[in-house]
Amino acid sequence: MGQLTQLHCGNVQRRRTNAEFLQSSPGFCSISAALSRTVFIMEIDAKTLSYEAAYKLMIGSVVPRPIAWLTTVSPDGIVNAAPFSAYTILCIRPPMVIVNCARRDGVSKDTARNAATSADFVLNVVSEDLAAVMHQTSAYYPPGVSETEALGIAVSPSRIVRSPRIAAAPISLECRLHQILEFGSDRDENLVGEVMCFHIADHLLKEGKI
């Protein structure tokens, strides 16, 4: 018991030392000012919001928010490319990701339909120089039209899955579809994929890290 008390006292002493160090650091005044400033908060009842209003608040609140540029292929071999507002890591072993794929007017988007049929998709990471053409793929294209062909976006064959990857993307994740989860009254579809293969530009990978 005495040993635990001594350890506890040691932890307290270290915290005091860290606090004293923080107070003596050049940025302490700005930190203190930031914590003591007055912030006027607006309270918004989420249940009163329309879909569009809730969407705007969600994408503005969850930041930084990586864009998932997904490529899939239809049963007829038509390649679809479309951006989605967010994705994140689900687990590491095996590596898995989840991508929110909201329906359009209650109907599944081409991406979700293709992924369900082929049981795969490729998640392409968007670099700044690809942002403009990525944004163009967000426009509506009929199911029989390939965004990559219409916009001249080069694709490369994947190593494991059927869907191709965007050739210019600095990072692409070949994903085998694990399942599609539906949430909410609009039954938003969330694609859960197991990463089967990583494609990473040589200059981005240093000692196993990006």
Q: In a structure prediction context, what are the per-residue pLDDT tens digits for the chain, which is 210 residues long?
A: 444 333 344 444 444 455 555 555 666 567 777 777 777 888 899 989 998 898 889 888 887 888 999 999 999 999 999 999 889 999 999 999 999 998 888 888 999 999 999 999 999 999 999 999 999 999 989 888 999 999 999 999 999 999 999 999 999 999 999 999 999 888 989 999 999 999 999 999 998 889
pLDDT at residue number 18: 54
C-alpha span between 111 and 71 (Å, rounded): 7
pLDDT at 27: 61
pLDDT of the residue at 184 = 85
Please tell me the distance from the alpha carbon of residue 189 to that of residue 180, in angstroms, as a whole number: 6
What does the block give as tokens for 53?
A: 């209003």
CB 156 within 8 A of CB 164: yes
pLDDT for the residue numbered 134: 97
Q: 164, 155 in Cβ contact below 8 A?
A: yes
pLDDT at residue 61 in the model? 87
Q: What does the pLDDT read at residue 29? A: 62
Angle at 176 between CA 87 and CA 202, to 5 degrees: 70
Local structure of 84: helix, strand or coil: strand
Single-letter amino acid, residue 191: L
User: Which amino acid would we find at residue 122?
Assistant: V
pLDDT score at 91: 95
pLDDT on residue 42: 87
Q: What's the pLDDT score for residue 13? A: 45
